[in-house]
Amino acid sequence: MSKKTIYPKITTHVLQEMKLKGEKIAMLTAYDYSMAGLIDEAGIDVILVGDSASNVMAGNKTTVPITLNEMIYHASSVMNAVSRALVVVDLPFGTYQGDSLEALHSAIRIMKESGANAVKMEGGKEIVQSVKRILSAGIPVLGHLGLTPQSIHKFGTYVVRATEEKEAEKLIKDAHILEEAGCFGIVLEKIPAELGTKVTQEIKIPTIGIGAGNGTDGQVLVIHDMLGITQKFSPRFLRRYHNLSEEIKGSVQSYITDVKSSDFPNDREQY
């Protein structure tokens, strides 16, 4: 029987140790105090304050519009709740591409104003100067390759990435570039499982997959998707652990009925 190591606090060093020991890393997104507290208490290893907040919290069609101030607000709320998990925050679109000094300032703002533990950035070779500059300030960076939603207007679609050899080769090269630059891990999004396994075996830092198969060192899902709060989004990689949208609507309907019928509040629910 395999023994599970108890880690009182998750750090980037612990994630590296987990990869070496072959222990899978469990990561979920959170954007607010209440949900982050529940996930942390449940024992999640890594909490991602993802720019998917743009979709699931703000209702935007893409992750492009979310701002640095909004990410800092979400990250601070999460940090107020978390005591064990490693908290990683997405650098939003337009705050790190093309200008490494701006990237550094953006990352410093996130770390100083939210108290988070690390930042995540999408891209490989194109953003490596920004990655290096942020790392030089002592800020841990998580890479993100494959489907990179901040580039949706370039891709034009959210289909599986790197199915062609040329793109797969670039992805492998980018993974090595990010590893050499000093990233503590890489998220691999929506790529063939075989490629996810290959990258994971080739690099020494942990990989965390979302739609990248079972061969990665860990998995990440958007909390609203895995709890079934979002209703229309159902890619193949998504396992729903609950149908909260139905439960929430059912509870709200019961409340409406109780209020309209004067059943709520009853004698015990008033002063």
Q: Is 263 exposed, middle or buried (0-12, 13-18, 19+ CB in 10 A)?
A: exposed
The string over 165-200, giving b where at least 16 C-beta atoms fall within 10 Å of a residue's C-beta and e elsewhere, is eeebeebbebbebbbebebbbbbbbbbbeebbbbbb
Minimum CB–partner distance for residue 203 and ligand KIV (Å): 18
Q: Which is nearer to ligand KIV, 14 or 210 (CB)?
A: 210
What are the strands, taking DSSP E only, across the chain? 25-29, 46-49, 86-90, 118-122, 141-146, 185-189, 207-210, 218-221
Minimum CB–partner distance for residue 13 and ligand KIV (Å): 22
* Alpha-carbon span 217 to 24, nearest angstrom: 5
Spot the catalytic one: 102, 126, 189, 247. 189
Q: Is 70 part of the annotated catalytic residue set?
A: no
Q: Which is nearer to ligand KIV, 136 or 234 (CB)?
A: 234
Q: Which is nearer to ligand KIV, 74 or 133 (CB)?
A: 74
Residue nearest to ligand KIV (CB): 50
- Residues engaged in binding ligand KIV (CB under 6 A): 29, 48, 50-52, 90, 187, 189, 210, 220, 222
Minimum CB–partner distance for residue 245 and ligand KIV (Å): 19
As a dihedral over the C-alpha atoms of residue 148, residue 144, residue 237, residue 153, rounded to 10 degrees, the angle is 0
Minimum CB–partner distance for residue 102 and ligand KIV (Å): 20
Q: Which is nearer to ligand KIV, 30 or 246 (CB)?
A: 30
Annotated active-site positions, please?
Answer: 189
